[in-house]
Structure 1
Amino acid sequence: MSTVILGGGLSGLSAAYYLLKTHPKHSVQLLEASTRLGGWIKSNTLNNNIIFEEGPRTIRPHGLAAYNTLSLIQEIGLESSVIPIHSTAPAAKNRMIYADGQLHLLPSSISSIFKVMSPFSKPLVWYLMHDFIAQKQTVKDESIYDFCNRRFGTEVADYLISPMICGICAGNSKEISVKFLMKTLFEYEQKYGNIYKGLIRNLFNNSPKTELSKLAKRAKVERWSVYSFKDGLESLPRAIEQYIKKKDISIELNAKCKSIELYPRNITVHLDNGKSIDASQMISSISSEELSQLLKNQHPDLSTLLEKIKSVTVAVVNLQYNKKLLPKEGFGFLVPPKERLPILGVIFDSSCFPNGENTVLTVMMGGAWFQELFGKQCDKEYILNLAQEHLKLMLGINEQPENVKVNILEKCIPQYTVGHNENVEKIQKYIKENKLPLALCGSSYYGVGVNDVILSSKNAVEQLC
């Protein structure tokens, strides 16, 4: 049996890891279009050991998908490099939003939900209790903004949910499906009339049990909030790469696909360099939009479904200053879209992972509003100047940074808009009905987080094998 894996980002590398783990005699070939593996995860280390993260920077340690990631980390021998942020640290407790011209601390404890905390006009518990009187609306799917606006009120939708969606997927909460983050709560409303009835009815349901790895148990005991690695998050794809290179795998860089012939019993991948590769099955970890173009001629209906899953572009600005400049330590802050600012959020990297008398910040810009704000011809110098202007406005930082890096990550985060789950079901139905030896993984389908991506790769391997 031979398998070709499209894409050498975290999901493609994870797929190779699980495939070689469960089927060590398999012939596996991984194709990556660029000059490096790791995808959107990229950690740049400066001369003074400061790390600039271009993409994701932390991983959550809780939940089944998270436990799976922690097991993988332990299996590849990376656990000694883990750096956790504990739940008692300022970076775990202090998460903020910028609204009405100032920073506001979000509720982070049981006692805080009973207090009035600006920009909310009432205690958070008041909005949560609103669910008891909110009217049920029977729908197949809706935006997460509309759902939260109906169940908890406009202030929760504007100041809690909308900025959170900006931080997770750089998206517009008025377009993102409620099933992206709140599928269970949405189903409770649809089945029981409100969320709390659903919570009570399912209070004693036995959740799936899983045997925790030693590292997962440590994360629970030590109460990790999130974690990363000593040399940045890119340590994870690098470690997986080194692990699978010891196995029987062929990895080819600069291997850009031109088209794919996909039949029930075999696959042929045609590369731009004129080379063709035959295999008995394929795992695609590239974006749905990219895969759509490769299947357009032979499978136009599947191509159309894949093309519906769009991605947004994010500008990432990393800045390092040689002194402490933050007015308050914390994870950082997000900006509600209603503020109509070009900033999605700012991460306080030096607060999350302190490194001497430095201030390290990451400014995220654009996302769902990238074209509207910056157009197609985006200038990096303009992006940098805009970021610094807003850091002065929001944090009072007037100093010039010692080091900066600006990256424009084109189509980096898929958007799970209303109807996404139904569309993915149609994609899988087409693959099954046409008996195609194809499995899908990566951020386009089952979650955009690191844990989701790795678990999707494991499930893709199980589906094929």
Structure 2
Amino acid sequence: MQKTVAVLGGGIGGLSTCYHLSKSIQVSKVVLLEASGRCGGWVSTTRREDGAVFEHGPRGVRPAGTTGKYILNMLTELGLESEILPVPHHHVASKNRFLYVKGQLHKMPSGLGGVVRTIPPFSSPIMLSVLKEVLVSKGTQEDESVHAFVSRRLGSELADIAIDALCRGVFAGDSRKLSVRSCFPPLYSAEKARGSILLGMLMGYEKRPPVVRSALLQRAQKERWAQWSLRRGMQALPEALEETLRGHERVEVHYNAPVRRLDNTAAGWEIKLEDGSTLKADHVISAVPAAALAAVLPPAAQPLSQQLRGIPTATVGMVNLEFSGSVLPVTGFGHLVPSSEDRGLLGVVYDSVPFPEHNRAGEPTTRLTIMMGGSWFEEVFGQPDHVTEQELLDRAAEALKTHLGITDAPLWSKAAVLKNCIPQYHLGHWKRLETMRQYISDASLPLSLAGASYDGVSISDVISSGRQAAERLLGKV
């Protein structure tokens, strides 16, 4: 029986943790400590009075896999079914994704026709690389960079162009440093289990736990959703979780409550806050970034702090723009840019194509998001604290002119530097996690780790990490 559980961080991971803890009578009190004045973390939406919606963080969720299914069931519990904006697989935003290579936009090959023919920027059909992959011998290393893994199994061209760009789009990271084992576990597991990515995908490589099939989950499977958002933007999800928690008699939500120090005593944790007050808890679940947890752990836990500080992060420059009328030369989800083309520009999302419901009422408009920097931020822009909004806007305007031929002045704009927003799982990340969890176990620390720093950076992964931390504590896993 856990008496009081304190959850550090009110981002989507911390909210998910509290939500799953609050459902159990084994916990007498859940205390959520959020350092800022709002919950939701990097999930942040602007809603304008004319109905326009702009995302400044994650902008959609994939319903695939076990984690995706759990989240759809959670939406049902939160009463958000009517808010969902689904994008099915046959939608133009699902089928059309572009790469900007050698000064030109290229549609990524899709469907059978796309993979059996040679389609620029590739010099041979992708199907050839996939079929040859079955003959490549199994790797022997415990971990490998994403770039090295894909080069070895599918060839250097796919690694240099498509995978390089994909890692920039998903992780804002460098495929030559990111770990395949931690960033793309299905690829690593497929090779380990079947000796081939293709065979692993066709024959299966892991047992998946059954998930209750809610009506919403059945609808998503029937309509073949590729991703979804919410009518009032992604921030509606943390808001619904927060509202549920605030209405729960066993849950306390504290805002503007940064933790100064955690002290582990015989009676549990003493949590000292910046305002001088102290809270007591039997167990702490940390859903703050790894470096933030390292900064408040007691000196005795120095080996753990050192490991936590070793998880790097990437900073992203994010620019939201709105234009009058239809300004895009192509329709699709957006385009990604390999590092060989432009180190500073990661990609452009054509927000109005997948989610036209987020456009303002009245005259048609086009909403775009430009993402910059990532692992290359300081090299291209300098220190994050010194980068102005105007610098980001200028760089975005230059990219839109060069890549898409857009020269109009935007109707509306917002630019921000999201400092240290995406953890980077570099080579050996899995070993670091193993070492940290072993230390927590050996030292009998009443501490659990959740959030984006450890087992996945997508919204689905982070929500799932909160659920799993809660369930482990409650003895369900």
Same fold? TM cut 0.5: yes
Which of residues 319, 323, 326 in structure 2 aligns to 1:324? 326
- What is aligned with 2:372? 365
Name the amino acid aligned to 2:296.
Answer: L
Which of residues 347, 354, 363 in structure 2 aligns to 1:345? 347
Q: How does 1:130-169 map to 2 (within 5 A)?
A: 130-169=132-171
Q: How does 1:308-457 map to 2 (within 5 A)?
A: 308-354=310-356, 355=359, 357-376=364-383, 377-457=386-466
Name the amino acid aligned to 1:389.
Answer: E
Q: How does 1:281-292 map to 2 (within 5 A)?
A: 281-292=283-294
Name the amino acid aligned to 2:438.
Answer: K
- What is aligned with 1:173? 175
Q: Residues 173-199 of structure 1: CA distance to partner in whole angstroms, max 9, x if unpaired? A: 000001134334334434654444555
How far residue 340 of structure 1 moved from its aligned partner, in angstroms, is: 2.8
Taking a change above 3 Å as real, the CA distance of residues 28 and 124 of structure 1, as seen in their structure-2 partners, is: same
Task: Name which of structure 1's ranges 447-456 and 265-274 shifts more when overlaid on structure 2.
Answer: 265-274
Contact 1:438 1:464 in 2 (8 A): no
Q: Distance in 1 between matches of 2:265 and 2:443?
A: 8
Contact 1:320 1:358 in 2 (8 A): yes
Q: Distance in 1 between matches of 2:416 and 2:200?
A: 44
- What is aligned with 1:225? 226
Q: Residues 14-66 of structure 1: CA distance to partner in whole angstroms, max 9, x if unpaired? A: 11110001237621111100111110000001232211110001000111000
How far residue 357 of structure 1 moved from its aligned partner, in angstroms, is: 1.0
SS in 1 for 2:85: strand
Equivalent residue pairs, number: 464
How far residue 130 of structure 1 moved from its aligned partner, in angstroms, is: 2.5
- What is aligned with 1:295? 297
How far residue 111 of structure 1 moved from its aligned partner, in angstroms, is: 2.5
SS in 1 for 2:119: coil
Q: Residues 85-132 of structure 1: CA distance to partner in whole angstroms, max 9, x if unpaired? A: 111111111011111101110112122110111100111101112213
Taking a change above 3 Å as real, the CA distance of residues 30 and 197 of structure 1, as seen in their structure-2 partners, is: closer
- Tell me, which stretches of 5 or more residues in structure 2 are unaligned? none
How far residue 168 of structure 1 moved from its aligned partner, in angstroms, is: 0.8
Q: Distance in 2 between matches of 1:232 and 1:47?
A: 14
Contact 1:135 1:150 in 2 (8 A): no
Structure 1 moving runs of 4+ over 2 Å: 132-137, 180-200, 202-211, 262-265
How far residue 303 of structure 1 moved from its aligned partner, in angstroms, is: 0.4
- What is aligned with 2:241? 240
- What is aligned with 1:109? 111
How far residue 205 of structure 1 moved from its aligned partner, in angstroms, is: 7.2
Taking a change above 3 Å as real, the CA distance of residues 223 and 321 of structure 1, as seen in their structure-2 partners, is: same
Q: Distance in 2 between matches of 1:357 and 1:127?
A: 42
Taking a change above 3 Å as real, the CA distance of residues 265 and 436 of structure 1, as seen in their structure-2 partners, is: farther
Name the amino acid aligned to 1:419.
Answer: G
1:11 aligns with 2:13: yes
Name the amino acid aligned to 1:459.
Answer: Q
How far residue 208 of structure 1 moved from its aligned partner, in angstroms, is: 3.3
Task: Name which of structure 1's ranges 202-211 and 224-233 shifts more when overlaid on structure 2.
Answer: 202-211
Taking a change above 3 Å as real, the CA distance of residues 208 and 319 of structure 1, as seen in their structure-2 partners, is: same
Name the amino acid aligned to 1:232.
Answer: G
Taking a change above 3 Å as real, the CA distance of residues 173 and 215 of structure 1, as seen in their structure-2 partners, is: same
Q: Distance in 2 between matches of 1:196 and 1:230?
A: 37
Q: Residues 358-377 of structure 1: CA distance to partner in whole angstroms, max 9, x if unpaired? A: 01000000000011111112
- What is aligned with 1:70? 72
Q: Distance in 2 between matches of 1:401 and 1:265?
A: 58
- What is aligned with 1:31? 33
Contact 1:177 1:420 in 2 (8 A): yes
Q: Distance in 2 between matches of 1:243 and 1:446?
A: 26
Contact 1:76 1:239 in 2 (8 A): yes
Task: Give aligned-pair identity as a percent.
Answer: 37
1:183 aligns with 2:185: yes
Contact 1:441 1:453 in 2 (8 A): yes
RMSD: 1.7
Q: Residues 354-396 of structure 1: CA distance to partner in whole angstroms, max 9, x if unpaired? A: 1351010000000000111111121221111011011100000
Task: Name which of structure 1's ranges 258-267 and 372-381 shifts more when overlaid on structure 2.
Answer: 258-267
SS in 2 for 1:299: helix
SS in 2 for 1:273: coil
SS in 2 for 1:22: coil
Taking a change above 3 Å as real, the CA distance of residues 36 and 140 of structure 1, as seen in their structure-2 partners, is: same
Q: Distance in 2 between matches of 1:14 and 1:73?
A: 12
Q: Distance in 2 between matches of 1:195 and 1:409?
A: 34
- What is aligned with 1:214? 215
Q: Distance in 1 between matches of 2:154 and 2:313?
A: 29
Taking a change above 3 Å as real, the CA distance of residues 133 and 119 of structure 1, as seen in their structure-2 partners, is: same
Contact 1:142 1:418 in 2 (8 A): yes
- Tell me, which stretches of 5 or more residues in structure 1 are unaligned? none
- What is aligned with 1:44? 46
Taking a change above 3 Å as real, the CA distance of residues 291 and 317 of structure 1, as seen in their structure-2 partners, is: same
TM-score (norm 2): 0.94
Name the amino acid aligned to 1:275.
Answer: S
